[in-house]
Amino acid sequence: MFYLYRVKTTQNIKIAVDAVVFGYDTSNGLSLLLIRRKFDPYQGSWALPGGFVLDAESLEEAVTRELKEETGVHINYLEQLYTFGSPKRDPRQRIVSVSYFAIVRESAHQEPEATTDASDAAWFNVTELPNLAFDHQTIVNTAIERLRSKVRYNPVGFELLDTKFPFSDLEKLYSSLLDRPVDRRNFKKKIMSLGILDELNEKAPHKGAGRPGRLYRFNRKRYDELVRDGFHFEL
C-alpha cells in the first residue's frame, strides 16, 4: 500500500525591478547611472535605480516609474536583461529582481536628480564604479556583457549617438563598447558596406587641427527594410 504525503509549502516572495542605464559621450566613454540609497539596507551605498513592482503595473511600467522617481532621467531604449533570484540576494526577505538595461542618447544625457528613496544620483564611468549594494555588480557585469555582445549583431550602438555624427564618433563608440581598438579602415569599410548610413552634405563642427569631416545619420527605415528582406547586422 502506498501513502501520499502532501508537503506543506509557503511562499513569501516579492518582485522588484532594477535598471542598468548606459550613457555615452565621446569625451568620457561609456557611463552608468547609479543612485545612493537613502534607507537601509545598504543605506548610503551606491546601487542601481529600481524598486518593487506595484500590484497594478507591468514590469516595464515599474522600471520606467522607478527611473523617473529616483533619477528623473528619461530613456529611449529599454530591454529586459535577466532575472536574479538568489534566496539571499536581499537581507530583508526573498526578493526576485527582473533587471533591464537601457540606453540614453548622447544629446539626452541628462543630469540626474535624486528623489524618493535616493539621496543622490550620478553618472559613473563603467571602469570606475564604486562598490555596489546587493548583487548589483553582478547585474552590471551581465548588462555590460550583453551590450558588448549585442552591438555585434544589432545596431543598438547608434542609440548612443546624436542623430547626426562624424564617423570618428562611431569609431570611438564601438571601441569603447567593445573595450578594444577598432581597425579604422576595415571598420569604416564594413559599416558603409551595410548600406544603413547616410552621408550628409554637412560638416562636423571644427575641433582642433585638421579638416572637419562630414556628418552621417543612421537610416532606421532602410535598416528595417533590409531586416524584413533577411538582412543580418554583423560586425
Break the chain into its structural domains and give their ranges.
13-152, 161-228
Task: Give the mean pLDDT of 206-233.
Answer: 82
- Give the residue, 101 or 206, on which the prediction is more confident: 101
- Calculate the dihedral angle through the C-alpha atoms of 28, 32, 38, 44, rounding to the nearest 10 degrees: -70
Residue 96: which pLDDT band, with cuts at 50, 70 and 90?
Answer: very high
Q: Do 22 and 104 contact (CB within 8 A), yes or no?
A: yes
Quote the CA–CA distance of 9 and 111 in Å, as a whole number. Answer: 47
- Name which of 78-87, 109-118, 121-130, 206-215 the model is least confident about: 206-215
Let me know if the fold of 13-152 is the same as that of 161-228: no
pLDDT tens digits, one per residue of 130-169:
999 999 999 999 999 999 998 888 888 888 888 899 999 9
Q: What is the DSSP letter of 38?
A: S
| Residue 146: all three cell numbers together | 550583453
Task: Report pTM.
Answer: 0.87
pLDDT of residue 71: 94
How far apart CA 188 and CA 171 sit, in angstroms, is 8
Instruction: Tell me the average pLDDT of the chain.
Output: 89
Reported as a single tens digit per residue, the pLDDT across 39-65 is 999 999 999 999 999 999 999 999 999
CATH number of 161-228: 1.10.10.10
Percent of the chain with pLDDT over 90: 59
Report whether pLDDT(183) > 80.
yes
Which CATH number describes the domain made up of 13-152? 3.90.79.10
Among 148, 74, 147, which Cα is nearest to 108's?
Answer: 74
Nearest Cα residue to 75 out of 66, 86, 83:
66
pLDDT for the residue numbered 209: 59
